[in-house]
């Protein structure tokens, strides 16, 4: 039985002092036996979030990370900078990083490998555009993203990974995928992991749905066989996040 994992992706929202206030507000609401809880916050807010989350069930994650150890990469954050603070999770390859910051399946793969090397759990994002869905290539496209992202990742590592299926057309649009659409793709992702590795790895890996998740849509989505929680944007900044975490 996989435990659900619900992660908030704060995106480019909240200053460090606003972070302290929001973590303090949400802390009692996200206390949960139901789901593992992660707040992925802007890099500069990580120390404030860690301090405010002390003694709670909240894990703090990053929204991105670079794939080199150190050096002349102005503006980037190295994996050991995250682990030194106590960061346990990192979102890799969010569609906004792919669209606005030129991330590719290849750089996603490098980052995933680097995260594992440093003991950070990657939340690996995948998902199709509306045009791809309309062309009927969603599953082929997502399978390709996953296969490349996991190249060189061992089965033992993959078992601990989190995959977030986020159809791009559902992100920030209020257009949540239907439960059937979300389950169909999450199932296909699990089958892809079974093909690349084995059934035990596919059974262990946790697959989230993301895209306009709300307190209203979470219970049905997370009850699906292949959906093990969510990656939540807008609703992660509100008290509703407590309801999403404690969806049952
Ligand atoms: O991109 C997302 C999470 O990573 C989803 O964002 P919304 O929940 O705001 O649609």
The CATH number for 123's domain is 3.20.20.70
Its domain, for residue 169, covers: 4-245
* Mean pLDDT for all residues in the chain: 97
CA-wise closest residue to 89 among 54, 57, 124: 124
Q: What is the value of ipTM here, to two decimals?
A: 0.98
Give start and end residues of each alpha helix (H) in the chain. Answer: 16-30, 46-53, 79-85, 95-100, 105-117, 130-135, 138-149, 155-160, 179-196, 199-204, 218-222, 240-245
**Predicted confidence band at 176 (pLDDT cuts at 50, 70, 90)?**
confident
Ligand 1 atom nearest residue 164's Cα: 4
pTM, 2 dp: 0.98
Cα 33 to Cα 30, 90, 190: the distances in Å are 10, 22, 25
CA geometry: angle 83, 87, 90, nearest 5 deg: 105
**pLDDT, tens digit, for every residue of 222-232?**
999 999 999 99
Cβ neighbors of 174 (< 8 A, separation 6 or more) are: 212
Spacing, Cα 217 to ligand 1 middle (Å) = 13
Q: Is the CB of 9 under 6 A from ligand 1?
A: yes
Among 232, 237, 243, which residue has the most ligand 1 atoms within 8 Å of its CB, making it the best to mutate? Answer: 232
Q: What is the mean pLDDT of residues 27-47?
A: 98
Number of domain units in the chain: 1
Place of tokens 């791009």: 168
pLDDT band at 204; cut points 50, 70, 90:
very high
All residues at 6 or more sequence positions from 149 whose CB lies less than 8 Å from its CB, including other chains: 92, 93, 105, 108, 109, 112, 124, 126
Mean pLDDT, residues 104-114 taken together: 98
Ligand 1 mean position, distance from CA 231 (Å): 7
Cα(34) to centroid of ligand 1, in Å?
A: 21
pLDDT of residue 175: 84
């Amino acid at each position: 039985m996989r435990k659900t994992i619900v992660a908030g992706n704060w995106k480019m929202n909240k200053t460090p002092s606003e972070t302290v206030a929001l973590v303090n507000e949400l802390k009692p609401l996200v206390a949960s036996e139901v789901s593992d809880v992660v707040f992925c916050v802007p890099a500069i807010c990580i120390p404030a979030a860690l301090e405010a989350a002390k003694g709670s069930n909240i894990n703090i994650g990053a929204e991105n990370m670079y794939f080199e150890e150190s050096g002349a990469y102005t503006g980037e954050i190295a994996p050991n900078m995250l682990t030194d603070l106590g960061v346990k999770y990192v979102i890799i390859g969010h569609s906004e990083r792919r669209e606005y910051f030129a991330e590719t399946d290849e750089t996603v793969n490098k980052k995933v490998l680097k995260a594992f090397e440093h003991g950070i759990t990657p939340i690996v994002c995948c998902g199709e555009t509306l045009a791809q869905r309309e062309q009927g290539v969603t599953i082929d496209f997502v399978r390709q993203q996953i296969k490349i992202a996991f190249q060189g990742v061992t089965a033992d590592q993959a078992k601990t990974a989190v995959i977030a299926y986020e159809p791009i057309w559902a992100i920030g649009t209020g257009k949540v995928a239907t439960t059937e659409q979300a389950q169909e793709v999450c199932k296909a992702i699990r089958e892809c992991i079974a093909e690349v590795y084995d059934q035990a790895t596919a059974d262990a890996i946790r697959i989230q749905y993301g895209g306009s998740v709300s307190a209203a849509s979470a219970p049905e989505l997370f009850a699906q066989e292949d959906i093990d929680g969510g990656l939540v944007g807008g609703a992660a900044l509100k008290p509703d996040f407590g309801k999403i975490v404690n969806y049952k």
